[in-house]
Structures are given as structure tokens and as C-alpha cells.
């Protein structure tokens, strides 16, 4: 079922959030938020600390259930689905603080992020070992290509614990791409990243987006937001305060007031 919400709508809408709210006891972390994400768009989500951005991600990804409201992916209501099922429907997510398996190699970390491999089931393994072996080879090849894409291939066999903060963000990007998402939720990809790796991350996101993948981007680095996002949503105190280009919202008095503590 298609759900009406603000922002661009129609057949090109890949994600639709409609009147989503999340209450924790007396606190309303997300308060009646509606927006659409269009195919191929990189939509920014900014706001002061505690505005409700990460909670909004939790509702979209399915790691938290909304108190009310609906989330639709490609027009299909996914509100009742688990986070795992939403990944299978093309919804990927990265975290503010990536937590790769520290002892596992980079390639194994990426391989663990794949979806629906036949070899998961013992019976499938018994029935078609050749198919499982071929899938395994294809998965390793794909994981290698993704590590190459994020410029980490020379560290393929190293344990993830050797990576810097910025490299962990790049590994996280490779991991999320392993599941072939149509939509990626990026939670502060610039946080704790040095200037050089930040350029790499911006470039890689741009390249993935060029392939038609849509992004919802939480980021405090306004320079990154203005370079990547055509449209930016601003949240404050759980509500959607306004939307516009990065430049429009950065100079909006309501946004300035929210960041100064007036509305937050
Ligand atoms: N599990 C929870 N239980 C209770 N309160 C929560 C929970 N998760 C978030 N909150 C509260 O909800 C509000 C919104 O938090 P949230 O982390 O979504 O904000 P944010 O905009 O992502 O902030 P930041 O930019 O600092 O990451 C805050 O007041 C936070 O303390």
C-alpha cells in the first residue's frame, strides 16, 4: 500500500515514513515525523544532539518499533517486519560507531554481511554441494571487489582490529554493500575520520549513489552534507523542523535557534 507523506512522491519513492512517533515513557524521541526518500536521492538528516535522528534510523531499520506511524519500502508497509527482513528487502544501515568482529579478517567480516546464501542450510548443502561451492566462490569474489572498492584490499587478511576509525567506516560501507541494498541509512560516516579518508568516503558514497542507490544520511559535518545532499531535513526535539538545501537550512533562523539550544 502506498502511503502519502511530505516530499517527492509517486513511483520513484523508495522509502516513505508516515507520522512516525517513538515514545520512551514520558519522552517523545520521534514526534509525528513524515518524509519520503526518492530513488537516487541522498537525503540529509541533521539536528542538534538528542534531536531524535538515530531513533528515526532505528524505526526505519526496524531495530525499534514505532509507537505509532508507518514505514514503507518501495510502497510496501514494513512496519511489522524485523530488521533482518528489512535488510532482505533492500534496506542497509551503517552505525555511528562501527563494531566489526575484531579478530576476524576483513574479508570474513564482509562475507558475514551477505544475505540468503544457499549454504546456510545443512539440507541445501547436502542437496547441491556444487551449487554451494559456486555460491561461496562468487561471494568471496564479490567481497574482494568490495574491499577493493573501499581501498582496503591490501588488508584483506588482516584482523579488523588493526583498522583506524576511518578505515572501519570504509569496511562498514563494504559490509553494507554486500547485501545489495537499494537504500542505505548512513549514521555519521564522517565522525572520527581524518580529512584524507573523509574524501575517500565522500567519493565512495557518490560512486555508490551513481549506481542508483538511495541514501539517508545523518551527519554533523555540514560540509559533507552540502556536498552530498540535494535536500536536507532538520530534526529538533523529535520533530521535523524544516527542510531545504543545505545552504537554506544552515541559514534558517529556526535551525540556528535549535542548535543554540532554543528548541532542543
Ligand atoms: N532506548 C532509549 N531509551 C530512552 N530514551 C532514549 C532511548 N534512545 C534514545 N533516547 C532518547 O531519545 C532522544 C533522541 O535521541 P537520539 O539518539 O535519537 O538523538 P540524535 O539526534 O541521534 O542525537 P546525536 O546527534 O547525539 O546522536 C534523546 O533524548 C535520547 O536520550
Domain extent at residue 116 = 104-162
Q: Are residues 196 and 110 in the same domain?
A: no
User: Taking Cα atoms as reference points, which of 213, 217, 182 lies closest to residue 90?
Assistant: 182
Residue 6 included in any domain:
no
State whether the beta carbon of 23 lies less than 6 angstroms from ligand 1: no
Same domain, 181 and 93: yes
Express each pLDDT in 143-174 by its tens digit.
999 999 999 999 999 999 999 999 999 999 99
* ipTM of the complex as predicted: 0.92
Does 7 fall in a domain? Answer: no
Please give the tally of structural domains in the chain.
2
Q: Is the pLDDT of residue 117 over 80?
A: no
Tens-place pLDDT, residues 85-114: 999 889 999 988 888 999 999 999 999 998
Sign of CA dihedral 184, 229, 52, 36: negative
* pTM recorded for the entire structure: 0.88
Same domain, 124 and 240: no
CATH number reported for the structural domain that contains residue 79 in this entry:
3.40.50.300
64 and 134 share one domain: no
Residues 206 and 88 in one domain: yes
* Rounded CA separation 15/184 (Å): 11
Do 62 and 179 lie in one domain? The reply is: yes
If you write DSSP's letter for every residue of 183-248 in order, what string do you get? EEEEE-TTTT--HHHHHHHHHHHHHHHHTT-EEEEE-S-HHHHHHH-SEEEEEETTEEEEEE-HHH
If one residue of 23, 28, 52, 187 were mutated to test the ligand 1 pocket, choosing by the most ligand atoms within 8 A of its CB, it would be 52
User: What is the structure's pLDDT at 226?
Assistant: 95
Q: Specify the pLDDT at position 129.
A: 76
CA 210–ligand 1 middle distance (angstroms)? 32
Position 3 confidence tier, pLDDT thresholds 50, 70, 90: very low
Centre of ligand 1 from the C-alpha of residue 50, in Å? 5
Same domain, 108 and 146: yes
Amino acid at each position: 500500500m502506498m502511503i502519502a507523506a511530505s516530499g517527492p512522491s509517486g513511483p520513484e519513492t523508495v522509502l516513505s515514513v508516515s507520522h512516525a512517533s517513538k515514545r520512551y515513557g514520558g519522552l517523545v524521541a520521534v514526534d509525528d515525523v513524515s518524509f519520503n526518500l526518492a530513488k537516487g536521492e541522498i537525503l540529509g538528516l541533521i539536528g542538534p544532539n538528542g534531536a531524535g535522528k538515530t531513533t528515526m534510523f532505528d524505526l526505519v531499520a526496524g531495530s525499534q518499533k514505532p509507537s505509532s506511524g508507518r514505514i514503507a519500502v518501495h510502497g510496501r508497509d514494513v512496519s511489522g517486519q524485523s530488521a533482518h527482513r528489512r535488510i532482505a528487502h533492500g534496506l542497509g544501515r551503517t552505525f555511528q560507531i562501527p563494531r566489526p568482529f575484531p579478530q576476524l579478517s576483513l574479508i570474513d567480516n564482509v562475507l558475514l554481511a551477505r544475505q540468503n546464501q544457499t549454504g546456510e542450510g545443512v539440507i541445501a548443502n547436502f542437496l547441491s554441494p556444487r551449487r554451494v561451492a559456486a555460491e561461496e566462490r562468487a561471494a568471496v569474489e564479490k567481497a574482494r571487489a568490495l574491499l577493493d572498492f573501499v581501498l582496503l584490499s591490501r588488508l584483506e587478511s588482516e584482523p579488523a582490529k588493526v583498522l583506524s576509525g576511518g578505515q572501519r567506516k570504509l569496511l562498514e560501507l563494504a559490509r553494507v554493500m554486500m547485501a545489495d541494498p537499494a537504500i542505505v541509512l548512513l549514521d555519521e560516516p564522517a565522525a572520527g575520520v581524518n580529512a584524507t579518508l573523509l574524501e575517500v568516503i565522500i567519493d565512495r558514497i557518490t560512486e555508490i549513489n551513481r549506481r542508483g542507490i538511495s541514501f539517508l544520511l545523518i551527519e554533523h559535518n555540514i560540509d559533507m552534507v552540502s556536498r552530498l545532499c540535494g535536500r536536507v531535513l532538520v530534526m529538533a526535539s523529535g520533530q521535523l523542523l524544516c527542510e531545504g538545501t543545505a545552504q537554506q537550512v544552515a541559514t534558517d533562523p529556526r535551525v540556528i535557534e535549535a542548535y543554540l539550544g532554543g528548541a532542543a
